[in-house]
Amino acid sequence: MNTAVALSNVVKIYDRIPVVNDLSFSIESGEIFGLLGANGAGKSTTIRMLITLAKPNKGSIEVAGYNTIRFPNQVKQNIGVVLQQTSVDGELSVWQNLEFHGRMHHIPNPERQERINRWLEYVELTHKRNDLVKTLSGGMKRRLQIARALLHQPRILFLDEPTVGLDPQTRRRLWEIIQDLNNQGMTILLTTHYMEEVEFLCQKCGNGKPGRIGIMERGKLIELDTLQELRSRYGEAIAVTQKRDKIDYQFFANTQEANQYLESLSDKTGVMVRDSNLEDIFVELTGHQLN
């Protein structure tokens, strides 16, 4: 297996508190890897270490085959980053933002202009190339961030909450872009608050395998597998029982067993059987919903 990202026993401490605690996992080249966790679980700190903005107190991290502490410049050359916060310059035009990024990466002309034109067309912003970024919609700004992250042709793309705050139609368009990039062979690490986003993007990667999902809680990785394997492990069906303001969940191996349980109840009021999903498993593991 060709490994794109590898973390081994990583610890990050702030104010004597480990916000990332003995974290180990790897990401295969060509995989879409979904990283989930509530606020404060350690996702953002993990991303910051992976993109060389923070150093681990213990353990080792390799990205694209390079140790992030010993070879940070080589790591940066091989990664693209799209953060949740809008990081493009609103006072510059779309083209100027990409031109500046291209020069920072020492991409020579005319190759730089060819790449700018290619990625603007890819994210459907060619008609906005001369517009100031501050006049763009939120979805356009996010697409511009993706184009900028791809300009220097990275091998690995880190996406931290890439669709937060966007309308459903724009989110779907970004999903299509992310999926297409992965189909072209790009390795992608995604953090998100949208369960359906992870379910959709990790269902099948460009390498023909389903992507894996890691769940973090209090700095630790408490579960890691594909959605199919997680549902098989915890139960592919669930009985939901609502009693006043309380909702109880009970997992079953399959729908047949869940329906048998339902039929055995003398009072079926407020009970529903359905397929389990990623959110059910997340709540079961962490005790709370993602927010």
Confidence (pLDDT) at 289: 59
Structure tokens at 23: 């974290």
Pairing assessment for the beta strands 32-36 and 212-217 based on DSSP bridges: parallel
Confidence (pLDDT) at 86: 80
Say whether both 66 and 186 belong to one domain. yes
The backbone region for 114, taken as left when phi is positive above 0, alpha when psi lies in -120 to 50, beta otherwise, is alpha
Report d(CA 201, CA 182) in Å as an integer.
9
Identify whether 81 is part of a domain. Answer: yes
Identify whether 196 is part of a domain. Answer: yes
Q: What total number of domains does the chain contain? A: 2
Say whether both 81 and 186 belong to one domain. yes
Local confidence pLDDT in tens for the 291 residues of the chain = 589 999 999 999 999 999 999 999 999 999 999 999 988 899 999 999 999 999 999 999 999 999 999 999 999 999 999 988 888 999 999 999 999 999 999 999 999 999 999 999 999 999 999 999 999 999 999 999 999 999 999 999 999 988 888 888 888 999 999 999 999 999 999 998 889 999 999 988 877 889 999 999 999 999 999 999 999 999 999 999 887 778 888 999 999 999 999 999 888 888 999 999 999 999 999 886 555
Say whether both 104 and 243 belong to one domain. no
DSSP string covering the chain: --EEEEEEEEEEEETTEEEEEEEEEEEETT-EEEEE--TTSSHHHHHHHHTTSS--SEEEEEETTEETTT-HHHHHHTEEEE-SS--S-TTSBHHHHHHHHHHHTTPPTTHHHHHHHHHHHHTT-GGGTTSBGGGS-HHHHHHHHHHHHHTT--SEEEEESTTTT--HHHHHHHHHHHHHHHHTT-EEEEE-S-HHHHHHHTSS-TTSSPPEEEEEETTEEEEEEEHHHHHHHH-SEEEEEEETTEEEEEEESSHHHHHHHHHH-S--TTEEEEE--HHHHHHHHHSS---
Say whether both 61 and 151 belong to one domain. yes
Say whether both 142 and 271 belong to one domain. no
Name the residue type at position 16: R
Q: Domain end: 231, 247, 263, which one?
A: 231
Identify whether 168 is part of a domain. Answer: yes
Say whether both 253 and 185 belong to one domain. no
SS (H, E, C) 149-181: HHCCCCCEEEEECCCCCCCHHHHHHHHHHHHHH
Say whether both 146 and 253 belong to one domain. no
Name the residue type at position 212: R
Say whether both 114 and 245 belong to one domain. no
Identify whether 286 is part of a domain. Answer: no
Identify whether 201 is part of a domain. Answer: yes
Say whether both 157 and 266 belong to one domain. no
The pTM of the full predicted model, rounded to 2 decimals, is 0.91
Report d(CA 21, CA 7) in Å as an integer.
12
Identify whether 215 is part of a domain. Answer: yes
Say whether both 11 and 125 belong to one domain. yes
In which domain, by residue range, is 259 found? 236-275
Report d(CA 108, CA 176) in Å as an integer.
30
Say whether both 255 and 191 belong to one domain. no
Q: Angle at the Cα of 209 (from 208 to 214), degrees rounded to 5?
A: 145
Confidence (pLDDT) at 67: 97
Q: At what angle do helices 94-104 and 138-150 cross, to 10 degrees?
A: 20
Identify whether 284 is part of a domain. Answer: no
The backbone region for 124, taken as left when phi is positive above 0, alpha when psi lies in -120 to 50, beta otherwise, is left
Neighbour tally for 144: CB within 10 Å: 24
Identify whether 251 is part of a domain. Answer: yes
Confidence (pLDDT) at 127: 97
CATH number of the domain that 35 lies in? 3.40.50.300
Say whether both 206 and 265 belong to one domain. no
